[in-house]
């Protein structure tokens, strides 16, 4: 009996010792592992204390690729103008995809702000991260330009500033923050960030506000509400009743952009409408969007 | 009693192996000059890339990795020559390895240094590379790479250095005034007071034994995590479970081929025919054949498992690789990099050295192309409903790529001037063992 007591006491003592030792060992590990948030000590957007889960709903029944009005897709255009997007990048890009029985539909694709984001997982320096509202942001002061996130993104929604972007002079006056990455930084990765500089102030993103068909909705999964600037809908009911889907859902990335199937029928566009959308244009960017050497000599620079 | 034959063998060995350290031919200087000129041109190209950014390359938002990453995988692969020959052959006690261990370890260090530079050249912001240490995330495969490669580089340097100590002491003692003051100083410092006492030998052998065991898991880990950079993504072709093994085997395979080429050159230039014999080419040739078959098998399973199911992305990739734009590369790899070398190696008994060497050159070319086939076509496959991407390297990438190769060659070439290229003390040990056996056998008779 007595012998057992001693051994029990010893056992407890020893296990406490081992646990303490392990804790000491683990503490530097914990600090290293906890450091997965970039931009610690950076001024965060203060306006909204609430924890949001921003998401977007795109009603393809209303999206006619702007062919019925004969302009470039207005979401892309508003985005380019609003963020001084370097030439060649379309943070929200309209794709033309095939319908099963022939014909085309249009698919506007912003960054999907995945909950299980492959890009965030592979970033070696935590330059790309989720902010408190679930938006995937990039800190361009930390990004080293390895482009691992671009190879990891299964939706091709990330772009690289291959050189010094040619932007209008007023872009230089913008105050940079990961929420509003303007002006674009050479040698870093850039993408749509859901206009998270506008959202806390109760404003809609440029693309949502710019869509003349009101096909884009901005929503909050936590408050179960979404709006396209005209109507306000109950998000969960809206998604279910309209058979919403997410692009490449089977990959398990849990995107926060939902599509309601359609091909622009609300505005009378038929499935076999042959009109293609008008390619996006940039008012800046010179020929290729970046400062480039002309020929092999550095002194013969062109813009 | 030592026989005279042994004495003269040892004298000759010392003379031949130390000769490159003191005598330098004009052609050597010319060769090094050409290599350095290539490196300088590459540095100029890199300066332009730094000035304008990666816009000077042929890369784009779709195909965002090109020649640099191909070279990264290729040169890290080459470094496996060291792990294979010096560690595996040492552990299996293959006596014939002694004359080629030194060269293989030099290749390992050269290949690793060169390979490790590639991702930094590929960075958009190379001056921020320190962020990886300051803000590193263990969740990222790139960090696994950094850790594995630096550890392996340190291990390889140690593993090159340890067996070098007795030979540096030999150079210190034998060369005397015939070596320049600078070199003598190097030999003296790095020989760390080696006097060839039995105690020192015992310790050295134990250290080498430990390193030989440690270097194998290190080497395996390095190319496994290099493969993880690709296989941790959701892309067709890369999204594969066998990539770790596939890359490791491919690395040993290409490393052995490069080793064959380098020992053939050094053998010819520095007259090592007495030590690097036909036997070495034959044995390494058989190993190359075994690795080739293993790699062929893995390639076959890799493409069959994808091609049988024909998922959309996989189908696009296979069409692109086997029938489309990349088909010439792919079939070059299959025919010139696999089938032809296989036959050359199978029938290498006819004329061992030339046949094995041709096979090795083809394998090296084929394996470079294979890395291209792994990396570029996968990125060309569209992920969204849009067109296929395309990639062709610019003069900046080609210049930097050639400079990389020249840099590797320069490292290996310069090594010939600072260390004996064959492991003199191990060869002596081998020779003593052999005569000992012979004498014993004669005595018993």
Q: Which domains does chain B have, with CATH numbers?
A: 21-278+396-430 (1.20.1630)
Task: Give the pLDDT band of residue A1 (cuts 50, 70, 90).
Answer: very low
Query: How many helical (H) and strand (E) elements, i.e. helices and strands, does chain B have?
Result: 19, 0
Task: Give the pLDDT band of residue B4 (cuts 50, 70, 90).
Answer: low
- Asked if B142 is an interface residue toward chain A (Cβ–Cβ < 8 A), one would say yes
Mutation target to probe the B interface, by most B beta carbons within 10 A, among A32, A146, A247 is A146
Task: Give the pLDDT band of residue B25 (cuts 50, 70, 90).
Answer: confident
**ipTM score for this prediction:** 0.86
Sign of the four-CA dihedral B17, B21, B23, B24: positive
Quick check: A288 and B55 CB within 8 A?
yes
Q: Which of A96, A126, A151 lies closest to B64 in CB terms?
A: A151
Tens of pLDDT, residue by residue over B152-167, are 999 999 999 999 999 9
Residues in B closer than 8 angstroms to A290, CB to CB, are 52-53, 55
Give the residue, B120 or A15, on which the prediction is more confident. Answer: B120
Measured CA to CA in angstroms, residue A24 lies from A15, A28, B31 at distances of 14, 8, 56
Closest residue in B to A122 (Cα) is B140
Please tell me the distance from the alpha carbon of residue B241 to that of residue B243, in angstroms, as a whole number: 6
Quick check: A162 and B48 CB within 8 A?
no
Average pLDDT, chain B: 90
Tens of pLDDT, residue by residue over A61-105, are 999 999 999 999 999 999 999 999 999 999 999 999 999 999 999
Cβ partners under 8 Å of residue B37, min gap 6 = none
Is B119 buried (19+), middle (13-18) or exposed (0-12) by CB count in 10 A?
buried
Task: Give the pLDDT band of residue A254 (cuts 50, 70, 90).
Answer: very high
Quick check: A186 and B123 CB within 8 A?
no
Please tell me the distance from the alpha carbon of residue B179 to that of residue A176, in angstroms, as a whole number: 61
Q: What is the mean pLDDT of residues B53-66?
A: 93
Question: How, if at all, do strands A216-220 and A189-190 pair?
Answer: unpaired
Q: What is the mean pLDDT of residues A180-196?
A: 94
Quick check: A88 and B61 CB within 8 A?
yes
Residues A113 and A155: beta-carbon distance below 8 Å: no
Domain regions of chain A by residue span: 54-297
Does residue B63 register a pLDDT over 90?
A: yes
- Asked if B133 is an interface residue toward chain A (Cβ–Cβ < 8 A), one would say no
Q: What is the mean pLDDT of residues A164-173?
A: 92
Q: What is the mean pLDDT of residues B249-262?
A: 94
Does residue A27 register a pLDDT over 70?
A: no
Q: What is the mean pLDDT of residues B421-439?
A: 83
> Token pair for residue B192?
């760390």
Please tell me the distance from the alpha carbon of residue A80 to that of residue A220, in angstroms, as a whole number: 24
Residues B11 and B2: beta-carbon distance below 8 Å: no
Helix (H) or strand (E) segment spanning residue A6:
helix A2-34
Calculate helix-pair angle for B312-322, B327-334, nearest 10 degrees: 70
Tens of pLDDT, residue by residue over A126-154, are 999 999 999 999 999 999 999 999 999 99
Task: Give the pLDDT band of residue A3 (cuts 50, 70, 90).
Answer: very low
Helix (H, G, I), strand (E, B) or coil at A301: strand
Task: Give the pLDDT band of residue A8 (cuts 50, 70, 90).
Answer: low
Q: Where are the beta strands (DSSP E) in A17-70?
A: 54-59
pLDDT the model gives residue B404: 95
pLDDT the model gives residue B1: 45
Does residue A19 register a pLDDT over 90?
A: no
Please tell me the distance from the alpha carbon of residue A72 to that of residue A80, in angstroms, as a whole number: 12
Does residue A213 register a pLDDT over 90?
A: yes
pLDDT the model gives residue A43: 47
A257 φ/ψ angles, rounded to the nearest 5 degrees = -120, 125
Average pLDDT, chain A: 87
Residues in A closer than 8 angstroms to B235, CB to CB, are 151, 154
> Token pair for residue A180?
């509003």
Q: How many CB atoms lie within 10 A of CB B436?
A: 11
Q: Which of B90-94, B110-114, B324-328 has the lowest mean pLDDT?
A: B90-94
Residues in B closer than 8 angstroms to A148, CB to CB, are 140-142, 229
> Token pair for residue A139?
């800190």
CB proximity under 8 Å: B 298-357 to A = none
Closest residue in B to A252 (Cα) is B234
pLDDT the model gives residue B437: 77
What percentage of chain B has pLDDT greater than the value 90? 66
Residues B394 and B58: beta-carbon distance below 8 Å: yes
Q: What is the mean pLDDT of residues B388-410?
A: 93
First to last CA, chain B: 18
pLDDT the model gives residue B428: 85
Task: Give the pLDDT band of residue B434 (cuts 50, 70, 90).
Answer: confident
Residues B337 and B366: beta-carbon distance below 8 Å: yes
pLDDT the model gives residue B350: 87
Quick check: A142 and B119 CB within 8 A?
no
Does residue A280 register a pLDDT over 60?
A: yes
What CATH number is given for A54-297 in this structure? 3.30.70.20
Q: Which of B51, B138, B395 lies closest to A298 in CB terms?
A: B51
Q: What is the mean pLDDT of residues B205-222?
A: 90
How close, in Å, is residue B304 to chain A by CA atoms?
22
Please tell me the distance from the alpha carbon of residue B325 to that of residue B333, in angstroms, as a whole number: 14
Does residue B90 register a pLDDT over 90?
A: no
* Residue positions counted in chain B: 445
Please tell me the distance from the alpha carbon of residue B399 to that of residue B46, in angstroms, as a whole number: 9
pLDDT the model gives residue A73: 95
Which range among A33-47, A195-209, B80-94 has the greatest average pLDDT? A195-209
Does residue A39 register a pLDDT over 70?
A: no
Q: What is the mean pLDDT of residues B23-38?
A: 93
């Amino acid at each position: 009996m007595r012998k057992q007591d001693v051994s029990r006491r010893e056992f407890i003592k020893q296990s406490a010792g081992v646990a303490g030792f392990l804790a000491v060992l683990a503490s530097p590990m914990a600090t290293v592992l906890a450091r997965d948030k970039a931009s610690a000590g950076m001024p965060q957007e203060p306006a909204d204390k609430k924890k949001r889960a921003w998401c977007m709903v795109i009603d393809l029944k209303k999206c006619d690729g702007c062919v019925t009005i004969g302009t470039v897709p207005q979401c892309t255009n508003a985005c380019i103008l609003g963020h001084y997007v370097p030439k060649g990048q379309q943070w929200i890009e309209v794709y033309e995809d095939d319908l099963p029985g022939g014909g085309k539909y249009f698919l506007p694709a912003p960054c999907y702000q995945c909950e299980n984001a492959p890009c965030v997982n592979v970033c070696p320096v935590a330059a790309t991260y989720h902010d408190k509202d679930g938006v995937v942001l990039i800190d361009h002061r930390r990004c080293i330009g390895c482009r691992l996130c671009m190879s990891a993104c299964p939706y091709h929604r990330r772009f690289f500033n291959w050189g010094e972007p040619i932007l209008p002079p007023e872009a230089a006056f913008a105050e940079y923050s990961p929420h509003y990455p303007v002006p674009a930084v050479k040698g870093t990765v850039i993408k749509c960030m859901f206009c998270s500089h506008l959202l806390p102030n109760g404003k809609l993103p440029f693309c949502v506000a710019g869509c003349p068909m009101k096909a884009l909705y901005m929503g909050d999964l936590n408050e179960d509400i979404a709006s396209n600037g005209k109507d306000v809908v109950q998000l969960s009911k809206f998604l279910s009743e309209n058979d919403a889907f997410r692009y490449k859902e089977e990959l398990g990335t849990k995107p926060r952009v939902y599509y309601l199937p359609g091909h622009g029928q609300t505005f009378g566009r038929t499935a076999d409408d042959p009109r293609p959308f008008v390619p996006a244009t940039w008012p800046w960017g010179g020929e290729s969007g970046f400062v480039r050497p002309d020929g092999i000599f550095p002194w013969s620079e062109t813009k | 009693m030592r026989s005279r034959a042994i004495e003269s063998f040892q004298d000759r060995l010392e003379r031949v192996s130390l000769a490159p350290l003191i005598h330098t031919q004009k052609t050597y200087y010319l060769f090094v000059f050409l290599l350095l000129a290539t490196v300088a041109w590459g540095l100029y190209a890199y300066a332009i890339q730094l000035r304008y950014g990666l816009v000077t390359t042929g890369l784009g938002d779709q195909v965002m990795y090109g020649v640099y990453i191909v070279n990264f995988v290729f040169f890290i692969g080459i470094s496996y020559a060291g792990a294979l020959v010096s560690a595996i052959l040492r552990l299996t006690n293959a006596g014939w390895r002694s004359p080629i261990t030194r060269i293989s370890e030099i290749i390992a260090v050269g290949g690793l240094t060169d390979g490790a530079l590639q991702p930094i050249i590929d960075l958009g912001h190379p001056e921020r590379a320190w962020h990886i240490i300051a803000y590193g995330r263990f969740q990222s495969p790139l960090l696994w790479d950094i850790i594995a490669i630096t550890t392996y580089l340190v291990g390889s340097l140690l593993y090159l250095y340890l067996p070098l100590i007795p030979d540096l002491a030999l150079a210190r003692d034998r060369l005397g005034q015939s070596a320049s003051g600078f070199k003598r100083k190097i030999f003296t410092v790095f020989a760390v007071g080696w006097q060839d006492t039995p105690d020192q030998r015992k310790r050295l052998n134990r250290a080498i034994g430990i390193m030989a065991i440690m270097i194998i898991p290190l080497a395996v880990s390095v190319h496994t995590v290099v493969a993880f950079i690709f296989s941790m993504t959701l892309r067709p072709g890369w999204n594969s479970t066998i990539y770790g093994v596939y890359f490791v085997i491919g690395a040993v395979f290409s490393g052995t081929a490069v080793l064959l080429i380098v020992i053939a050159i050094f053998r010819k230039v520095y007259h090592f025919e007495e030590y690097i014999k036909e036997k070495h080419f034959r044995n390494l040739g058989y190993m190359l054949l075994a690795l080739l078959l293993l790699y062929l098998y893995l390639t076959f399973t890799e493409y069959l498992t994808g091609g049988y199911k024909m998922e959309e992305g996989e189908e696009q990739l296979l069409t692109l690789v086997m029938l489309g734009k990349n088909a010439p590369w792919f079939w070059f790899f299959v025919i010139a990099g696999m089938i032809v070398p296989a036959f050359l190696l199978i029938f290498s008994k006819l004329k061992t050295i030339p046949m094995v060497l041709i096979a090795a050159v083809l394998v090296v070319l084929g394996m470079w192309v294979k890395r291209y086939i792994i990396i570029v076509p996968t990125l060309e496959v569209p992920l969204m409903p849009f067109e296929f991407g395309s990639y062709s390297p610019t003069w900046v990438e080609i210049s930097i790529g050639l400079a990389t190769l020249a840099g590797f060659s320069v490292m290996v070439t310069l090594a010939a001037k600072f260390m004996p290229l064959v492991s003199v003390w191990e060869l002596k040990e081998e020779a003593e063992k052999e005569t000992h056996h012979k004498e014993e056998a004669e005595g018993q008779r």
